[in-house]
Amino acid sequence: MTRTEQRTETAVGLPRWAFVPAAVGGLFVVLPLVAMATRVDWSSYWSLVTSESARAALVLSLQTSAASTAACLVLGVPMALVLARSRFPGIDLARSLVMVPLVLPPVVGGIALLYTFGRRGLLGETLQVAGVQIAFSTAAVVLAQTFVALPFLVTSLEGALRTAGARYEVVAASLGARPTTVLRRVTLPLVWPGLLSGAVLSFARALGEFGATITFAGSLQGVTRTLPLEIYLQRETDPDAAVALSLLLVVVAVLVIAATRRGRSPL
Amino acid sequence: MGKHVAAAGLAALAVAALAGCGTQAGGAEGGDASEGTTTLTVFAAASLKGSFEDLAGQFEAAHDGVDVQLSFAGSSDLVAQVQQGAPADVVASADTATMDKLVADDLVAAPQDFATNTLEIAVPPGNPAGVETLADLADPDVALVLCAPAVPCGAASAEVEEAAGLDLRPVSEEQSVTDVLGKVIAGEADAGLVYVTDVAAAGDDVEGVEFPESADAVNTYPIATVPHEAADATQDDLAREFVDLVLSDDGQQTLAGFGFAAP
């Protein structure tokens, strides 16, 4: 990794013109965040982000995002393994379908979930008979977040698996290791950085989830009103609180990304 | 090589797309000038969608070469957009409180009330939970959806709830009346509090249950023109004419057809 970087810097270099659009792109991302920070009413910032509704929203956001990241890992790791390491007819179609939530407007995802898990949905009636009520519950938030976040984990991990290749796995298998042992001792340690970044992306996507949640789960303090929903609602009456909470969400997101960057650097 | 070609192709596509955006916007403006048409931009509360589309059609029919552009959003969004300098000529909001904010910022001239709206209970077809009165909504077995108290329809719901001395426990507090209606239409909720006009607009998708306590919270809709800084007299006149149409007998009749009451 470092060797390649050095070679690029010394031998090839970067065309100078590339820095201009790169800088414009960087500004394009950073400037809105700076603009928002300038609008924050710092004297009341602390009281705004520690209000009862704000705390409830933050706690709910962190809990549901953690739960949906766990769900993404449980479902997404096997999905990525299957897509990267097995062959079956229609695998290209399967790969495309997995990506659908990524390109779908989240509201559409919410509507689709509603028609699946809603009271009158495809599975809703069966679930209701079984005594499971998903509509307007925290579980609905986790479902919505998992739906939109899953492709991030699957794509990152599948990419990592393809890059790593199957050489070491073949060696391990030829030495008599069972598939599960190969997976645990060879494959997963090899793709650990990809898995980690996939999990972080999923968490970040879940944290920012808005459209599918508001469409599918509803909005009630402490139950379904996550931080993005709280921000959207606060905008109605108290724009200062909305800006303060937005900055809080940015800070949480940056912390999450920074934490994993540090975790990855030794690799 | 193949990669380079693909990259060049992508870049060309991106440039073409960007250029396309530019031409489209420029083309629209150019078209206006050459054909001598004027655009009147009307920002209106989401609940006015049907009625204002109708009124805009009447206005265009009566004014040759005038194109009415309608933009619908929640009242609070409308206010925020106008405050941020959105190019509105006329603003019609769903409650006086939001319009008062624009008046306080000196952005609109003399608002006039043009319609009122009251709440009604919306239930899915067949009324599965058997909701007959406002008090039925307090039943814990009824999955009730309301607007959040921060938005106008939620404020009205809270007024009705307080006046009736009820303790309503909604399963969700939605952002807008459309969201409440959506949850009822989808059958997720057994009942929701929306406006009479929303029930009328939803047709067969929902059933309405009227309740006498709705008289405790009557929403008044104000309309106002947005004066132009550059003393654009013709545009201001046109805006005023649109307001006059809304306030006229014809306009009021149109609004009544969509379930609104006179102020």
Is the pLDDT at A46 greater than 70, yes or no? yes
Note whether B252 and B108 are within 8 A (CB).
no
Distance CA(A94)–CA(A86), nearest Å, equals: 12
Model pLDDT, residue A126 = 86
**CB under 8 Å to A217, separation ≥6 — which residues?**
A135, A136, A137, A140, A141, A143, A144, A224, B172
Q: Which residue has the tokens 């509105």?
A: B88
Model pLDDT, residue A11 = 64
Which residue would you say has higher pLDDT here, B127 or B151?
B127
Model pLDDT, residue B5 = 47
Model pLDDT, residue B10 = 46
Which residue would you say has higher pLDDT here, B256 or A253?
B256
CA distance, residue B65 to nearest chain A CA (Å) = 37
Is the pLDDT at A179 greater than 50, yes or no? yes
CA B66 to chain centre: 22
Which DSSP state fits B11?
A: H
Residues in chain B within 8 Å Cβ distance of A228: none
State the Cα angle at B114 between B109 and B118, rounded to 5°.
Answer: 130
B143 to A135: CB separation less than 8 angstroms, yes or no? yes
Question: Which among B63, B109, B112 is positioned nearest to B229, based on CA atoms?
Answer: B109
Threshold 0.80, pTM exceeds: no
Which residues make up the CATH 3.40.190.120 domain(s) of chain B? 119-216
Model pLDDT, residue A262 = 66
B172 to A234: CB separation less than 8 angstroms, yes or no? no
CB-based burial, B19-53: b 16+ in 10 Å, e otherwise: eeeeeeeeeeeeeeeeeeeeebbbbbbbbbbbbbe
Model pLDDT, residue B231 = 61
Domain with A207, as residue range(s), is 53-163+192-264
Distance CA(A179)–CA(A173), nearest Å, equals: 7
CA A9 to chain centre: 32
Establish if A218 belongs to a structural domain.
yes
Cβ-nearest to A232 among B170, B175, B188: B175
Q: Per the structure, how many domains does chain A have?
A: 1
HSE, CB side, 13 Å, CA atoms: give it for residue B15.
6
Is the pLDDT at B114 greater than 90, yes or no? yes
A135 to B76: CB separation less than 8 angstroms, yes or no? no
Question: What mean pLDDT comes out for the span A74-89?
Answer: 93
Which two structure tokens, joined as six digits, stand for B224? 């106002």
Establish if A182 belongs to a structural domain.
no
**A83 phi, psi to nearest 5 deg:** -70, -35
Q: Strand pairing partners for B45?
A: B73
Model pLDDT, residue B2 = 45
Is the pLDDT at B150 greater than 60, yes or no? yes
Distance CA(A117)–CA(A143), nearest Å, equals: 9
Cβ atoms within 10 Å, residue B205:
15
pLDDT single digits (tens) B180-220: 998 999 888 999 999 999 898 888 999 999 999 988 888 89
Q: Which residue has the tokens 């989401």?
A: B46
Query: Amino acid identity of B136?
Result: D
Model pLDDT, residue A162 = 92
CATH number, residue A99: 1.10.3720.10
Compute the mean pLDDT over every residue in chain A, rounded to the nearest whole number: 88
Note whether B135 and B165 are within 8 A (CB).
no
Is the pLDDT at A41 greater than 80, yes or no? yes
A233 to B150: CB separation less than 8 angstroms, yes or no? yes
Model pLDDT, residue B83 = 87
pLDDT single digits (tens) A99-155: 999 889 988 999 999 889 988 888 888 888 888 888 889 999 999 999 999 999 999
**Residue of chain A with shortest Cα separation from B188:** A119
Establish if A180 belongs to a structural domain.
no
Note whether B254 and B54 are within 8 A (CB).
yes
Q: How many residues are present in chain A?
A: 267
Instruction: Report the Cα–Cα distance between both ends of chain A, in Å, rounded.
Output: 9
Establish if A58 belongs to a structural domain.
yes
Model pLDDT, residue A13 = 80
Model pLDDT, residue B3 = 47
Q: Strand pairing partners for B117?
A: B219
Question: Which among B5, B107, B61, B45 is positioned nearest to B245, based on CA atoms?
Answer: B61
Q: Give every strand in the sheet of B38-45, ordered side by side.
A: B66-73, B38-45, B90-92, B219-225, B109-117
Model pLDDT, residue A259 = 77
Is the pLDDT at B75 greater than 50, yes or no? yes
Q: Which fold has domain B36-115+221-257?
A: D-Maltodextrin-Binding Protein; domain 2 (3.40.190)
Model pLDDT, residue B124 = 94
CA distance, residue B60 to nearest chain A CA (Å) = 33
Q: Pinpoint the alpha helices (H) of B36-125.
A: 49-62, 75-83, 96-104
CATH number for the domain whose boundaries are B119-216 = 3.40.190.120
Residues in chain A within 8 Å Cβ distance of B183: 218
Instruction: Report the Cα–Cα distance between both ends of chain B, in Å, rounded.
Output: 71
Distance CA(B112)–CA(A13), nearest Å, equals: 66
Q: How many residues are present in chain B?
A: 263
B188 to A135: CB separation less than 8 angstroms, yes or no? yes
Establish if A247 belongs to a structural domain.
yes
Residues in chain B within 8 Å Cβ distance of A120: 186-188
Going by pLDDT thresholds of 50, 70 and 90, the confidence category of residue B127 is very high
Residues in chain B within 8 Å Cβ distance of A118: 186-188
Note whether B129 and B153 are within 8 A (CB).
no
Query: Amino acid identity of B213?
Result: E
Residues in chain B within 8 Å Cβ distance of A220: 170-173
Q: Strand pairing partners for B119?
A: B195
Going by pLDDT thresholds of 50, 70 and 90, the confidence category of residue B30 is very low
A236 to B171: CB separation less than 8 angstroms, yes or no? no
Model pLDDT, residue B36 = 64
Question: What mean pLDDT comes out for the span B95-100?
Answer: 87
Compute the mean pLDDT over every residue in chain B, rounded to the nearest whole number: 84
Which two structure tokens, joined as six digits, stand for B103? 């008046």
Distances (CA, A) of B75 to A235, B68, B100, B101, B175: 12, 19, 12, 11, 11
